[in-house]
């Protein structure tokens, strides 16, 4: 009686070949490697947090350089506008003091002129203060803002460029270098602020998905 006989009921059972992994189960890879996913199942990221894989943490995009420059210019413009607001308020206070002194000495016409000048200075201060608030708001909103911030920035920069060009032409007529440098810098700032949200990198930044 031989144990090798396949018809022997008392012999060892024949060795069965290893079962192939069934459909839908992970495939075993080489030692040290993660098991392979079966066909038809979603692939899991081998490195969590790497962008482009389901379930991974998306890496945050960085703001384009031209938009960063426009943002800095907006903050610089807001600083100038804040100083202008303070200057107009100071002018209103001086005009009001002159008006009071003129009334005390009986110069009613001078007093009325002082009151009118003080009112004009206050109005200008309020307008410039509102523009400073808008400049700061746009600069802050660059990081999370959408199309509304983009369109407002383009319009704001274009209007600022028009005003700068007007003062630049006036300065060119005077022929004074000091009357040209300021408006020229203002025009350069306005052009960059206007173009930054319009170029492809700026458009893609404001159209990016937000998480």
Which pLDDT tens digit goes with each residue over 68-93? Answer: 999 999 999 999 999 999 999 999 99
pLDDT tier at 55, thresholds 50, 70, 90: very low
Claim: this prediction has a pTM higher than 0.85: no
Would you say residue 8 has pLDDT above 80? Answer: no
Q: What mean pLDDT, rounded, does the chain reach?
A: 78
Burial environment of residue 168 by CB neighbours within 10 A (0 to 12, 13 to 18, 19 or more): buried
The rounded distance, in Å, linking the Cα atoms of 41 and 47 is 18
| Predicted pLDDT at 157 | 95
| Predicted pLDDT at 62 | 87
- pLDDT tens, residue by residue, 19-47: 555 545 555 555 555 555 555 544 544 43
């Amino acid at each position: 009686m031989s144990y090798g006989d396949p018809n022997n009921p008392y012999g060892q059972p024949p060795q069965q070949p290893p079962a192939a992994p069934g459909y839908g189960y992970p495939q075993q890879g080489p030692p040290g490697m993660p098991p392979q996913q079966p066909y038809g199942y979603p692939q899991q990221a081998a490195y969590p947090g790497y962008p482009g894989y389901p379930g991974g943490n998306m890496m945050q995009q960085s703001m384009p350089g031209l938009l960063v420059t426009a943002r800095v210019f907006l903050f610089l413009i807001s600083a100038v506008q804040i100083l202008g607001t303070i200057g107009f308020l100071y002018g209103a206070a001086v005009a009001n003091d002159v008006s009071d002194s003129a009334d005390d000495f009986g110069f009613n016409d001078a007093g009325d002129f002082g009151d009118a000048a003080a009112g004009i200075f206050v109005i200008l201060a309020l307008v410039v203060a509102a523009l400073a608030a808008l400049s700061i708001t746009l600069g802050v909103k660059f990081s999370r803002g959408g199309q509304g911030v983009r369109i407002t920035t383009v319009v704001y920069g274009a209007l600022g460029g028009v005003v700068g060009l007007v003062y630049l032409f006036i300065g060119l007529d005077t022929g004074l270098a000091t009357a040209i440098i300021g408006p020229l810098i203002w025009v350069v700032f306005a052009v960059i602020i206007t173009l930054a949200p319009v170029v492809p990198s700026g458009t893609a930044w404001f159209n990016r998905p937000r998480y």
